Amino acid sequence: ETGVTQTPRHLVMGMTNKKSLKCEQHLGHNAMYWYKQSAKKPLELMFVYSLEERVENNSVPSRFSPECPNSSHLFLHLHTLQPEDSALYLCASSQDPDRGRGNTIYFGEGSWLTVV
């Protein structure tokens, strides 16, 4: 139990489907993140939210749409994805996105996404 919970853990979707990934953190953190992890590639930061405000969007295609209704919840809405979007999507949280040297990031268990 990491304090960051993601659902669903596994998702298979067609290219025309619309689905959402959900993340909830119980650590009292102010910042939440979406990362993508593909085989043999470094973790790719997708989005950063600080106090429900999006502070970073790393050139992510519009078929990925994040939503942060409050500091404890984060969603990633998916639509018209491509097979190359199949990957492990990791949610994470930290106390503050850019203050202090610490900013330890804690990850959820991840959502395995397969696009067929």
Q: How far apart are CA 99 and CA 116, in angstroms?
A: 41
What does the per-residue mask of binding to other proteins show for 13-42, with x meaning CB under 8 A? ---------------------------xxx
If we measure between CA atoms, which residue out of 82, 54, 56, 80 comes closest to residue 67? 54
| One of 57, 82, 104, 114 touching other proteins (CB under 8 A) | 104
**Minimum CB separation from other proteins for residue 16, in Å?**
28
Handedness of CA 45, 47, 49, 53 (dihedral sign): positive
Residues that bind other proteins (CB under 8 A): 2, 40-43, 45, 88, 90, 97-98, 101-110
